Every structure is written in C-alpha cells, then in structure tokens.
Amino acid sequence: MAPELSEYERQRQENIAQRDKLLKQLALDAGQAGLGPQKPKPGPKSSSTHKKKAPVKRVKEDVGPRRTSSRLQGLTADSEVAKRKAEEEHFAVQEAARVKRQRQSGPLDLSDVVVAGKDWDKSENFLVDIVSRGAKPHVRTFGETEVKQTTDKELRALREQMSGLELYDGFEPNRIKITPERIYSLGFHPTKDKPLIFAGDKMGNLGIFEASQRAGAVTKENGVKKEEDEDEDDEDDEDPAITSFHCHTRTISSFQFSPANPSQLYTSSYDSSLRLLDLTKSQSTEIYAPSDTSLDEPLSGVEVDPSAPHMLYFSRLDGHVGRTDTRAPQTTDIFELSEKKIGGFSLHPGNPHFIATASLDRYLRIWDLRKLSGKVGRQLPALIGEHESRLSVSHAAFNSAGQVATASYDDTVKIYTFDGMGSWSPGRKISDNEMEPSAIVRHNNQTGRWVTILRAQWQLRPPDSVHRFCIGNMNRFVDIYNAKGEPLAQLGGDGITAVPAVAQFHPTEQWVAAGTASGKLCLWM
C-alpha cells in the first residue's frame, strides 16, 4: 500500500498536472490557428542534371524544462527514492541548526572553543596576568610580617627604615591636586631644605608643591602663600598652596634638573619641543623643536649629560633618539634606534656614552655613542647588546652601578647588571649571558587606558650607597626594591583613592613622591 502523500506533495502534483494540461491546450490552439511550424517551400527548379537531394526531414523535438528534476532523471514524481532523499537532507539541515543553538552544559576548554587569534596557550596568554595579578585596592603583598621574618640583619634594617616612611600629614593626598589633569612626569627639586615637588600633566601644565606647609597654617591667594587669619576657623575647606604653569600645549612626558644649575629645569613634551624653565629668571624658553612647525614628532623623554650639562638627549615616540647642544641647537643629531615607539631611555650616570632604550618591539637595547657608523646624517651608535621580553618594554633606567631596571607588559620588572662598564672599549659587545636579567620581579604592570604607565626609577645617589628603586603599585601603593629585586617596603596610607602610578625618589633624601591620574600627589618622608 502506497504511503499517504503530504499536503505539500499533493499540492505539487496538482500544480504539475495543471501545467501539463495547459501546455497541451496551447499547442492544439496554435496548430488550429496556423501558428505552428510551417513546411519549407520548395526551391526553384535547377537546370542542372544533378539529382535532387532528398529534403532533410526535421524531427520535431519535445523541448522540456531545462531544470534538473526527478522526472528528467527517469524518476517518477512520487518515487520513494526521491522523497526519502529529500526528507533526509531536510532532516540533516534541521538537526545541524538545532545542535548549533543547543546550550553547552559541560565544561569547555578554551583551546577547543577559540574562534580567532593564534593558538591558545593556557600558561602564556594575555589573561593570565590580569586574572592572577589583577588590581586589588589596598591589599598589601608586603608588610610588617615580611619585615619581621627577615633573617638578614642588613636587609632587615633597610626594610625597617624604608617601611618607616610615613605619609605626609600636612594635607590629605586627595587635597593635594598638584596638576589639573593626569600626571605623566614627577620629580623632586634637588634641594635638601624641604621637599619641593614638580609634576607635569597631560595638557602641558607644570605644577609645583612645597611640602613644608600644613593645613591651618597657610591659605592660597593668587598663588601666593600667606599666614592664616585668626578669625577663619574652617580649616577643613583649606587647600594647599600650589603653583602651576602652562609651559607646553601637550603632555609633559619627562623633565630633569640641570646637574650644573638646579634652578634650570628641562622639559620634554608631546608637542615636539624641549623647553628650559629658568626658575631664577621666571622664564621658559624653547631649546629644541622641529624646523617645520607642521611636523608632529612627540618626545617621550629628556636627559642631561652629567659630564657635559650643555648636551641634552631626548627620545621620540617614532623610535628616534636625538642629541642637541644648547649652545648650538641647530646642530642636533638624530639616531633611528627602533622601528617602533621608544617609551623611555636612560644615560649611564657615570658613563653617559652608554644609552639604554626600551621600545614597543619588546627589546631592551644598550648602545655605545663612542662608536658611530654609517653615512653622515644617517649615523648610528654601536648596538652592543639587546634582550627581548615577551611583551613590550615600557621604560629602562640606569643607576650609577651599571644596572638597568625595566618594566614591561609581561608583568615583570627586570634588573640587568653590567659590571665594569667604565673600562669597556668602544663598541665592546655584551654577550648573551651578560644580557640575561640578574633578577626578575613579578609585578602587575597592566595599567589600562586611564592610568599612566608604571616605570621603575632608581634613587640617583642613595645616602647609604645601597641602590634602590620605586615603582607604582596597582593596589594603590608604591613598591620599593633593592638592586637584587628584593622588596624593601610597600608605601601606602589613608586617603589614597587612586593608583600612585608615577613614583620618584628624591636624589639623596629618603623622600618618595607619587602622582595619580587625577593630578593628586602622595608624599612619604
């Protein structure tokens, strides 16, 4: 017994029957009206004796539909094979769609469900650092317990000294807004008389805060300090006296005081210029800028040659490092040291012909300026060593002992030790073993978009000759480490409401300052 046809199949059969009936009726009507194909008329008689060729009979072909169908393949419309095939294909499509929409209840391995990107590695991927070392505000990773458990007497004494630094109590940190916008650069004036902090922000403002003032003792009137009137008793509303100058039109990326004259401050900016702020003359003058004002060549750093204070070095975001003489700025030398952004560079304090650069291409490189090669105008210093990190290197800083500290986005602070650099011959190569870090510190450097990049900064001349550096902590602290990568202190305190990302030591005193993305200042003494 034949299976019962579906409603769709029955309708299709009826449509086919109606179409065939209509075609046959049209053919009959055309024949009766004389519209059908005509017989060919006989041609004129030929006088040739040749025998006439028999006319070729044209066979009328039935032109069927040109689409491929079961009927043309010899299958009847109600063939069991055709119906079964169609049903199977329809069922397969429906099943695939159902499976695609079905919820997955079991555990999923990310390496099995990765859609785009390179092969997924469970131990090496961009999520490991965030998940395992994400920011946890005010959660300490080093404190009194670790200090008490220190068995080395010298290390313990140093840890107690650095951990004993206290947060400045003249004003709460959230009251000391040293700059209007996010702080990008910060440092102390070299004076030992009192803490005098300078900070550069995103919009080119340079703020100055003098930390000998205290709430209730001074007020600010037109940027000038004055004694508090006795009849004013609302001390809670007082703000510290802060002076601010708009020296650049864009971010002040770095600044440094002249080692020969502490009243002179050199600043670099994303507006492509170097400027000299003379505190004695109360004047800011341009030292270097591209000759074409339409050129956009943002500067990421500036350093003064300690052996020749008239020589300035600067780095650009396009991978170039420049050298200019303040006595003749038109004689600027430009070296292309990287194809990608140079985030920071540093001169060796004792041997300033050595330069360390940190760039977006993941390399720390050491250069020797005593040996230049190449054509005039395109000369390059000798590359004497390089080390590659897993991700980009944000900054590199030399100390006077020949050590370089770097911070990189692989969530590490690396310390490189180069002994005896003062006796190295020009162009002397650093071996691969020498370029390996002497210490690697795990440190969360994932600042994101709204926090300034973390940089490890050495104290220039530590009073006890024990080298140390500070770096901001995403948990709203400032971390201090020695040259071996051992933690010395984790500075914090009440009232710190943002990450003190930009941290810096006083050159000689045990003072530490740090700035936040909201322009606020934290100070420990």
Q: Provide the pLDDT for residue 102.
A: 63
Give backbone dihedrals phi and psi of 22, rounded to 5 degrees, phi first: -65, -40
Give per-residue burial for 162-174: e unless 16+ CB within 10 Å, then b: bbebebbebbbbe
Question: What whole-number distance in Å separates Cα of residue 454 and Cα of residue 406?
Answer: 10
Q: Provide the pLDDT for residue 130.
A: 44
Cβ 92 vs Cβ 100: under 8 Å: no
Distance, C-alpha 149 to centroid of its chain: 38
Q: Provide the pLDDT for residue 79.
A: 63
List Cα–Cα distances, 125 to 103, 110, 129, 411, 438, in angstroms: 27, 11, 8, 12, 24
Within 10 angstroms of residue 242's Cβ, the number of other Cβ atoms is 20
Could you tell me where the beta strands, DSSP code E, fall in 196-352?
A: 196-201, 205-210, 218-221, 224-227, 242-246, 252-257, 264-269, 274-278, 283-288, 299-304, 311-316, 320-325, 328-336, 342-347
Q: Provide the pLDDT for residue 153.
A: 94
Question: What whole-number distance in Å separates Cα of residue 472 and Cα of residue 103?
Answer: 44
Cβ 445 vs Cβ 135: under 8 Å: no
Question: What whole-number distance in Å separates Cα of residue 401 and Cα of residue 431?
Answer: 19
Report which of residues 287 and 59 the model is more confident about: 287
Query: What DSSP letter does each residue of 214-250 carry, written as one string?
Result: -BTTEEEETTEEEEPPTT---GGG----EEEEE--SS
Beta bridge partners, 210, equal: 196
pLDDT band of 436, cuts 50, 70, 90: very high
Question: What whole-number distance in Å separates Cα of residue 197 and Cα of residue 51?
Answer: 122
Question: What whole-number distance in Å separates Cα of residue 511 and Cα of residue 523?
Answer: 7
Q: Which of 365, 276, 352 is nearest to 313 (CA)?
A: 352
**Which amino acid is residue 161, in one-letter code?**
Q
Q: Provide the pLDDT for residue 190.
A: 95
Distance, C-alpha 241 to centroid of its chain: 35
- For the chain, give the number of residues: 525
Identify the burial level of 19 via C-beta atoms within 10 angstroms of its C-beta, where 0-12 means exposed, 13-18 middle and 19 or more buried.
Answer: exposed
Residue 296 tokens, joined = 């956009």
* Helix (DSSP H) and strand (DSSP E) numbers for the chain: 6, 29
- Is 45 a residue whose pLDDT tops 80? no
Question: What whole-number distance in Å separates Cα of residue 279 and Cα of residue 210?
Answer: 14
Q: Provide the pLDDT for residue 187.
A: 97
pLDDT of 382-414, one tens digit each? Answer: 999 999 999 999 999 999 999 999 999 999 999
Q: Provide the pLDDT for residue 129.
A: 46
Q: Provide the pLDDT for residue 230.
A: 47
Determine the 3-state secondary structure of 166 from DSSP: coil
Within 10 angstroms of residue 368's Cβ, the number of other Cβ atoms is 23
Kind and range of the H or E run holding 440: strand 439-442
Roughly how many angstroms between the first and final C-alpha of the chain, as a whole number? 101
Summarize the confidence of residues 436-447 as an average pLDDT. 95
Q: Provide the pLDDT for residue 123.
A: 46
Question: What whole-number distance in Å separates Cα of residue 323 and Cα of residue 256?
Answer: 15
Cβ 288 vs Cβ 295: under 8 Å: no
- Is 487 a residue whose pLDDT tops 90? yes
pTM metric for this prediction: 0.72
Summarize the confidence of residues 87-98 as an average pLDDT. 87
Question: What whole-number distance in Å separates Cα of residue 274 and Cα of residue 310?
Answer: 13
